[in-house]
Chains A and B, each alone.
Chain A
Amino acid sequence: MIRGRLISIVLGYGTLAAGACVLAPLVGSTHISLARAFDRSIPFADNVDAQIFFVARMPRVLTGAIVGSTLASAGVVMQALLGNPLATPFTLGVSTGAALGAVLAITFGSNLAISALASVPIASLAGAVVASVIVYALATRPGRPISTMVLLLAGVTLNAFFSALILFVQYAADFTQAYRTIRWLMGDLDVGGFQPIVAALPLVLVALGLFAFLPRSLNLLSVGADIASTRGVDVGRTQRLAFLSASLATAAAVSLAGPIGFVGIVVPHLVRLMVGVDHRIVLPASALFGAAFLIGCDLIARTVLAPVEVPVGVVTAMVGGPFFLWLLVRKS
């Protein structure tokens, strides 16, 4: 029975996500001719429509799909792991670690000759990994389940500590660097080519692959760790896997597009309101709906005030927040 339901829901949400992927590149701040964009007889360098389609819009939409699905599914996992509906992929300090890395690269990167190593995506990925390792080391004891309380406190404290470090670095930075840092924190999907996507994809795929092992245990875990362990779930192992995969997913997404807020909390809740609480369905549905959601928000971001853009993180908050509240009120 679950299998049939899963298939129909995944098909439904999959159609939505695929539709967003196909339709979003057709729309933008300028009008382009599709026939011309795909006309092979025009050299690529002369074909402005093809340039806009393949260099500007396609990578952007794909980034939206990847980041949206990763953040949304990481949000589902974090909420189950912490047993807290307010948890987000950013709760345990991963994004703040990434932000610290990015801020350091923005502030000091231009002074270093090794600018390839000091690039913002690599520095933010490194920051995210460092943050996850610290939280993991603080919260885990060998052979024992993770105390979610300790995990949460360690994450929140690390968030605060890294935020303070970010402020300190920003304080030392000059005006333009501080400005660029703030802009990075608002999130940006305009990656300008497929290369950044290709670089982030392996991490994303590993994380999503690990998520596939989680739904059944997460269902039991969200009832309670004790009940889960009497039902044969290795709680410690599940928690570690959930934490590591969600952190990896978040790290990859944030290093690709900055810490885009709201996706990781609004999408899981919206999906739960629509399909129920079974993680076997919520997890894939959130991944697909997250992709469509972020592509849609970015479409608004790049068209509503054209030629000027609205940061996509601002749009996710403005669209996601009220919509979420409306659903909440309607449901209760």
Chain B
Amino acid sequence: MAARAKELICAVLLVLCGAAAPGSRADARESVGGQRDQTAPQTRATRVVSLVPNVTEMLFAVGAGSQVVGVSSYDDFPPETKTLPRVGALLDPDTERIFSLRPNLVIVYGSQTELEGQFARAGIRVYPYRHAGVDNVLQTIRDVAQLTGHQTEGDRVVRDLRSQLDAIRARVRGRPRPKTMLVLGRDAGSLRGVYTSGGVGFLHELLDIAGGDDVFGDIKRESVQPSNETMIVRAPEVVIEMHSGESPPADVLRRERAVWNSLVSVPAVRNNRVYLLYGSYLMAAGPRLGRAAEALARVLHPEVYR
């Protein structure tokens, strides 16, 4: 009878542990490639599905591209991703399709807890991605490299990225740091619906590395929606618009640049320091971070890139 009770208690404990597991994602993150699931053999993942485009980029960068068997609907870099099966994205992951690709590692957004549980129950390893700063990007590269058995390449990519960022930092060191507003979006043809980088997140950090002071650095949020009044008062010395699309024709570019002219007292407008940057690398928190930082440094400190 006592043995029976013991068994029961064990079973209950097991169930409780199982239920608690998805909630303790922070621990799972710590032990990636380690002891996340004691029962699953910790072999390298040979078939990877990634729902997160910037993590897909990381997989290709560490040499795990050939192990990727499915990507999200938004993946377009590197070009090899275009021929891979698409399995939905943040809002519409196609679970059936993902299962049919027989992955042994699925990369999901940290907020997709339902999905995480579903794959965990099926015994498929899950890596929950969380969007944060530059350090988090580097750690994620290391994590996915380890999970796919490309540890050496992962370390190399991280080392390269770090030295790239350090080089930019060194190059602009000692230069005056202009007060910069990093615009992440607005309505076409007007200064409405402007939103900018706040004092948190990888874009804010890239600006810091590139030698600019974020005018909204004191607002500890990833994005800020300033009114025209706030923009006038904060008086940025440089305005940089980042667009992930391709550069439009010259006349549209001129027109879009001219919408800033209504804020004549803003130093960036007066001194002709409003820049519109285009390119998918600008907003991708992945291996092309260095390129984005350099693009920022080039417009902030053209003199050191001459």
Interface stretch among B15-23, B151-159, B218-226? B218-226
Contact yes or no, B256 A115, CB < 8 A: yes
Contact of A51 with B227 at beta-carbon distance under 8 Å, contacts A118-B188, A192-B190 already known: no
What are the residues of chain A within 8 A of B245 when measuring CB–CB? 110-111
Contact yes or no, B232 A52, CB < 8 A: yes
Q: Check A45 for interface membership: any CB of B closer than 8 A.
A: yes
Interface stretch among B24-32, B60-68, B119-127, B262-270? B262-270
What are the residues of chain B within 8 A of A52 when measuring CB–CB? 229, 232-233
Cα(A89)–Cα(B191), bound, Å:
27
Q: Check A183 for interface membership: any CB of B closer than 8 A.
A: yes
Contact yes or no, A30 B233, CB < 8 A: yes
- The residue in chain B whose Cβ has the minimal distance to the Cβ of A50 is B265
What are the residues of chain B within 8 A of A109 when measuring CB–CB? 188
A18-54 contact mask (Cβ, 8 Å, vs B): 1 or 0: 0000000000111000000000000011111001100
What distance in Å separates the Cβ of A139 from its nearest Cβ neighbour in chain B?
33
Interface stretch among A156-164, A174-182, A208-216, A266-274? A174-182
Interface stretch among B141-149, B170-178, B247-255, B295-303? B247-255
Contact of A55 with B230 at beta-carbon distance under 8 Å, contacts A119-B190, A174-B74, A183-B193 already known: no
- The residue in chain B whose Cβ has the minimal distance to the Cβ of A31 is B233
- Interface size of B by Cβ–Cβ distance < 8 Å? 40
Contact yes or no, B228 A190, CB < 8 A: yes
What distance in Å separates the Cβ of A125 from its nearest Cβ neighbour in chain B?
14
Contact yes or no, A48 B233, CB < 8 A: yes
Nearest 5 Cβ contacts at the A-B interface: A56-B229, A56-B228, A192-B191, A45-B264, A115-B188
Residue A188 contacts which of B193, B229, B230, B252 (CB distance < 8 angstroms)? B193
What distance in Å separates the Cβ of B76 from its nearest Cβ neighbour in chain A?
11
What are the residues of chain B within 8 A of A111 when measuring CB–CB? 245
Residue A115 contacts which of B90, B192, B243, B255 (CB distance < 8 angstroms)? B255
What are the residues of chain A within 8 A of B74 when measuring CB–CB? 174
Contact yes or no, B232 A51, CB < 8 A: yes
What are the residues of chain A within 8 A of B255 when measuring CB–CB? 115-116
B residues near A (Cβ < 8 Å) are 74, 90-92, 184-185, 187-193, 195, 216, 219, 221, 224-230, 232-235, 243, 245, 248-249, 252, 255-256, 262-265, 270
Q: Check A120 for interface membership: any CB of B closer than 8 A.
A: yes
What distance in Å separates the Cβ of B245 from its nearest Cβ neighbour in chain A?
6
Contact yes or no, B193 A56, CB < 8 A: no
What are the residues of chain A within 8 A of B192 when measuring CB–CB? 120, 188, 190-192
Residue A180 contacts which of B185, B216, B224, B256 (CB distance < 8 angstroms)? B185
Q: Check A143 for interface membership: any CB of B closer than 8 A.
A: no
Cα(A188)–Cα(B248), bound, Å:
27
What distance in Å separates the Cβ of A178 from its nearest Cβ neighbour in chain B?
9
- The residue in chain A whose Cβ has the minimal distance to the Cβ of B243 is A110
What are the residues of chain B within 8 A of A57 when measuring CB–CB? 229
Q: Check A145 for interface membership: any CB of B closer than 8 A.
A: no
Residue B270 contacts which of A45, A174, A176 (CB distance < 8 angstroms)? A45
- The main secondary structure of chain B at its interface with chain A is loop
Which of B227, B248, B255 gathers most chain A CB within 10 Å?
Answer: B227
A residues near B (Cβ < 8 Å) are 28-30, 44-48, 51-52, 55-57, 60, 105-106, 109-111, 113, 115-116, 118-120, 171, 174-176, 180, 183-184, 188, 190-193, 196, 302, 306-309
- The residue in chain A whose Cβ has the minimal distance to the Cβ of B245 is A110
Contact yes or no, B264 A190, CB < 8 A: no
Cα(A184)–Cα(B225), bound, Å:
12
Cα(A175)–Cα(B285), bound, Å:
15
Which of B91, B187, B221, B243 gathers most chain A CB within 10 Å?
Answer: B187
What are the residues of chain A within 8 A of B184 when measuring CB–CB? 176
What are the residues of chain A within 8 A of B190 when measuring CB–CB? 119-120, 191-192, 196
What are the residues of chain A within 8 A of B270 when measuring CB–CB? 45
Contact of A302 with B227 at beta-carbon distance under 8 Å, contacts A52-B232, A56-B232, A183-B193 already known: yes
Contact yes or no, B265 A183, CB < 8 A: no
Contact yes or no, B185 A176, CB < 8 A: yes
- The residue in chain A whose Cβ has the minimal distance to the Cβ of B262 is A193
What are the residues of chain A within 8 A of B232 when measuring CB–CB? 48, 51-52, 55-56
Cα(A113)–Cα(B195), bound, Å:
22
What distance in Å separates the Cβ of A24 from its nearest Cβ neighbour in chain B?
12
Contact yes or no, A119 B185, CB < 8 A: no
Cα(A110)–Cα(B187), bound, Å:
9
What are the residues of chain A within 8 A of B188 when measuring CB–CB? 105, 109-110, 115, 118-120
Contact yes or no, A120 B187, CB < 8 A: yes
Which of A48, A118, A184, A190 gathers most chain B CB within 10 Å?
Answer: A190
What are the residues of chain A within 8 A of B221 when measuring CB–CB? 308
Contact yes or no, B224 A51, CB < 8 A: no
Contact of A180 with B193 at beta-carbon distance under 8 Å, contacts A29-B233, A55-B232 already known: yes
Contact yes or no, A106 B265, CB < 8 A: no
What are the residues of chain B within 8 A of A60 when measuring CB–CB? 227-228
Residue B265 contacts which of A47, A188, A192 (CB distance < 8 angstroms)? A47
What distance in Å separates the Cβ of A1 from its nearest Cβ neighbour in chain B?
47
Contact yes or no, A184 B90, CB < 8 A: no
Contact yes or no, B229 A29, CB < 8 A: yes
What distance in Å separates the Cβ of A47 from its nearest Cβ neighbour in chain B?
7
Contact yes or no, B187 A106, CB < 8 A: yes
Cα(A118)–Cα(B187), bound, Å:
10
Cα(A225)–Cα(B249), bound, Å:
58
